[in-house]
């Protein structure tokens, strides 16, 4: 074999391995989502009192976050008018007010700022 054919064979092997790994990762995420859905259904079955139900759902969400590589990173910022502190996805702008809505990159959280309202004394 010459050098070019060895390089081509090595490149093909690496590509096949990468494709197999990404397919496995997609399967793992699909399985994690299915596990989450099952767990939430169990949590909401009506057999648990409210505190235990809430903890059950938090645990299911934590397991799903771990499978996805952890929760979305967020930062705490002040709005431009200084009236509110908001938690926004890292790298996203702070809403200007009104009825602005922002979604996190993974789509799991929304920040909604209400329209300006008169201040209460």
The H or E element spanning position 112 is: strand 110-112
Residues 31 and 80 in one domain: no
Residues 50 and 87 in one domain: no
What's the pTM? 0.46
Q: What is the mean pLDDT of each run of 10 residues along the chain (121 residues)?
A: 62 57 73 94 92 91 87 76 76 64 66 50 44
Does residue 117 lie within any of the structural domains? no
Residues 31 and 81 in one domain: no
**If you ran DSSP here, which 8-state letter would residue 2 be given?**
-
Compute the distance between CA of residue 25 and CA of residue 19 in angstroms, rounded to an integer: 10
Residues 89 and 54 in one domain: no
Domain containing 106: what range?
A: 74-112
Burial of residue 53 (CB within 10 Å: 0-12, 13-18, 19+) is: middle
Cβ contact 72:105 at 8 Å = yes
What total of structural domains would you count in the chain? 2
Residues 7 and 64 in one domain: yes
Does residue 118 lie within any of the structural domains? no
């Amino acid at each position: 074999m010459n050098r070019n054919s060895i390089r081509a064979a090595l490149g093909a092997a690496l590509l096949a391995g990468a494709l197999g790994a990404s397919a496995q990762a997609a399967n793992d995420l699909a399985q994690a989502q299915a596990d989450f859905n099952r767990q939430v259904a169990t949590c909401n079955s009506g057999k648990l009192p409210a505190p235990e139900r809430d903890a059950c759902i938090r645990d299911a969400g934590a397991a799903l976050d771990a499978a996805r590589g952890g929760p979305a990173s967020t930062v705490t910022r002040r709005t431009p008018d200084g009236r509110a502190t908001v938690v926004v996805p890292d790298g996203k702008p702070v809403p200007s007010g009104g009825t602005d809505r922002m979604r996190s990159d993974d789509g799991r959280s929304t920040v909604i700022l209400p329209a300006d309202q008169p201040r209460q004394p």
